[in-house]
């Protein structure tokens, strides 16, 4: 598979505006920014082959011949690779990873939450978007989280029975396995059952997260008795954590499929736990949950096809919307992570997130204008609003005229098999460990995804994202998400399989992986390791990782951006498929991540 593909012509108007902007600046800035654009170019230029293994590369990816799994936890990665070695396909392995993460990465891996899976089948050549996002219970209503003063009550949507949405993970995994996999539920859950029953060694990462979130988890006795010792002390690194009740719940799923979760003893225990915590979920809510297969959103960026999740994920739409804006600029000539490039990316981010606040919601309840938002013409209109040398204040940016937020503790994984099938999956409990509540007798941590609705339209949620009427609380509705499992296609075949946790930063993180490979010719490890930025319109802050060059930060401030230095942004798990083999990289920003192939 060749990585050489046509690139769009560089727009003369933009080139001329750069000369006007920078020709009066310092000589150093003129050389850095203007000179690369003076080179004559034809209508089309060709992208270079991304460096794979090279002494010139700053990071080296993992290589495999047949198949690969990239996930945030090593034991789960190994479980997926074992399935591939046994002859399973990418879907079989993905389901095995999903159930394993519920044991080994309890803060985000789950069977008590939900998410999105993108499945590409080599034969027939098609991609399916599986929406197993949580749903609001039948008793949910618009003002369910509003207090007597008319304002949202945070605890009700975060650490309360009302915070729990009807979980979708188990049914989502079952649908994927039955329709597109080749193995049985018993086969793909066995590793997870064994690890829950026999125990796993507590890693430094798990020890730190349990210790740091003890207040929220230990407030629930059913959770404290699993994740802390009998005397109330913390598990230490290297000690064995056993989860026999979770093993039992997984065994019921292995035997009965999704009915072993949505009906019978597990369902009864979940409803009882939620009721005791002040919630209103019923057995009928669980029994009536439905997974939805949707058409992916599809865009094109410099000759590559970008395939991603449709609503109720906002990710796919806004990745494509931002890339469409940025395609009008010569990003490769401006350079990787230069102030000029990052300025343009920031301005595109602001405009996409302004649109997110207005137009995105559950498509089963609200007519989301997908085609308008991802159209090239619309992107050109937005790009015209961007000043080359000056930040536009968010207060001056409104949702465009067109024809809520997960926590960092989401998790993503990517899988490729020897037949060319691929899976990109992102799922979550929302906050780290969700609501913190384990349904007694099940070992299952329950989500707090109801916080992803707009408790009060126009008011920022716990992570600063503003939502509108389209994402208001309503019975049986799915909350808006930023999860963005994505597959970039080349010549109709998977080229980059990627995604990330990180709440609202998921969308911009995923976009930066794509740009790092396509625009800047980085291999997948370099693309993963590179410093990241994020802007979400409101609040009007440009978040940058502390590894971003300080001179670059100063140049961005000079353009009017309010720069806030953050620690890690995102945790991508990415795979690149080339003629030279399969290459992958786990994000070094999270301890314990592993990419493994065979």
Q: Tokens in use for 519?
A: 């625009």
Q: Centre a 10 Å sphere on the Cβ of residue 148 and count the other Cβ atoms it contains.
A: 6
**How far is Cα 341 from Cα 338, in angstroms, rounded to an integer?**
5
Number of helices (H), then strands (E), belonging to the chain: the values are 22, 23
Whether the CB-CB separation of 372 and 365 falls below 8 Å is answered with no
Q: What are the angstrom distances between the C-alpha of 537 and each of 277, 334, 388, 534, 556?
A: 35, 24, 18, 10, 16
Q: Centre a 10 Å sphere on the Cβ of residue 57 and count the other Cβ atoms it contains.
A: 15
E strands present in 512-551: 533-534, 542-545
Indicate which residue of 410, 426, 486, 595 is catalytic. 410
Half-sphere exposure of 424 (CA within 13 A, CB side): 32
Strands 410-416 and 493-498: unpaired
Whether the CB-CB separation of 558 and 573 falls below 8 Å is answered with no
Would you call 83 exposed, middle or buried from its count of C-beta atoms within 10 A (0-12, 13-18, 19+)?
buried
Q: Which residues are CB-contacts of 39 (< 8 A; sequence separation ≥ 6)? A: 333
Q: Is 58 a catalytic residue?
A: no
Q: Tokens in use for 598?
A: 């065979």
Q: 3-state DSSP: the chain helix, strand, coil percent, rounded to 5?
A: 40, 20, 45
Q: Which residues are CB-contacts of 251 (< 8 A; sequence separation ≥ 6)? A: 189, 193
Would you call 12 exposed, middle or buried from its count of C-beta atoms within 10 A (0-12, 13-18, 19+)?
exposed
Task: Write out the catalytic residue numbers.
Answer: 410
């Amino acid at each position: 598979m060749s990585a050489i593909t046509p690139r769009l012509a560089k727009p003369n108007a933009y080139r001329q505006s750069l000369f006007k902007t920078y020709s009066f600046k310092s000589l150093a800035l003129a050389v850095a920014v203007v000179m690369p654009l003076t080179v004559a170019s034809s209508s089309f230029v060709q992208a270079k082959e991304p460096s794979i293994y090279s002494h010139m590369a700053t990071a080296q990816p993992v290589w495999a011949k047949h198949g690969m799994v990239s996930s945030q936890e090593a034991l789960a990665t190994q479980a997926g690779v074992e399935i591939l070695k046994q002859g399973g396909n990418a879907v079989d392995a993905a389901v095995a990873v999903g159930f394993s993460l519920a044991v080994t990465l309890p803060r985000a891996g789950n069977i008590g939450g939900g998410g999105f899976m993108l499945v590409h089948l080599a034969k027939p050549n098609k991609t399916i978007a599986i929406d197993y996002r949580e749903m609001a219970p039948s008793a949910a209503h618009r003002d369910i989280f509003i207090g007597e003063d008319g304002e949202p009550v945070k605890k009700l949507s975060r650490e309360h029975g009302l915070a729990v949405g009807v979980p979708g993970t188990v049914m989502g995994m079952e649908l994927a396995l039955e329709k597109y996999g080749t193995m049985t539920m018993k086969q793909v859950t066995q590793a997870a059952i064994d690890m829950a029953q026999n125990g796993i060694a507590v890693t430094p990462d798990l020890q730190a997260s349990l210790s740091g979130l003890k207040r929220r988890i230990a407030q629930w006795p059913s959770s404290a008795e699993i994740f802390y010792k009998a005397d109330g002390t913390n598990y230490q690194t290297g000690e064995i954590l056993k989860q026999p009740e979770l093993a039992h719940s997984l065994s019921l799923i292995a035997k009965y499929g999704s009915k072993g979760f949505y009906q019978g003893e597990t369902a009864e225990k979940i409803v009882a736990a939620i009721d005791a915590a002040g919630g209103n979920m019923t057995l009928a809510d669980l029994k009536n949950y439905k997974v939805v297969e949707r058409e992916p959103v599809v865009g094109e960026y410099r000759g590559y096809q970008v395939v991603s999740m449709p609503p109720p994920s906002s990710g796919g739409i806004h990745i494509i919307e931002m890339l469409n804006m940025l395609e009008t600029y010569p990003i490769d000539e401006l350079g990787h992570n230069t102030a000029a490039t990052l300025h343009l990316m920031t301005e595109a981010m602001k405009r996409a997130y302004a649109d997110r606040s207005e137009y995105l919601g559950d498509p089963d309840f609200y007519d989301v204008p997908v085609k308008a938002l991802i159209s090239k013409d619309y992107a050109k209109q937005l790009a015209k609003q961007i000043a080359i040398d000056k930040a536009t204040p968010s207060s001056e940016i409104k949702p465009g005229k067109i024809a809520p937020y997960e926590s960092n503790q989401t998790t993503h994984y990517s899988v490729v098999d020897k037949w060319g099938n691929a899976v990109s999956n992102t799922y979550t409990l929302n906050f780290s460990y969700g609501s913190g509540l384990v349904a007694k007798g099940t070992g299952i941590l329950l989500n707090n995804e109801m916080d992803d609705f707009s408790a009060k339209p126009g008011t920022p949620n716990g992570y600063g994202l503003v939502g509108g009427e389209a994402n208001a609380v309503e019975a049986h509705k799915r909350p808006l998400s930023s999860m963005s499992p994505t597959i970039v296609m080349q010549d109709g075949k998977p080229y980059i399989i990627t995604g990330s946790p990180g709440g609202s930063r998921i969308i911009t993180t995923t976009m930066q992986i794509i740009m790092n490979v396509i625009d800047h010719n980085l291999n997948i490890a370099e693309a993963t390791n590179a410093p990241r930025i994020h802007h979400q319109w409101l609040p009007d802050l440009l978040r940058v990782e502390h590894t971003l060059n300080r001179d670059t930060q100063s140049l961005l401030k000079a353009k009017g951006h309010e720069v806030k230095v953050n620690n890690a942004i995102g945790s991508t798990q990415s795979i690149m498929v080339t003629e030279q083999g399969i290459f992958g990289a786990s994000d070094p920003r999270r301890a314990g991540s592993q990419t493994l192939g065979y």
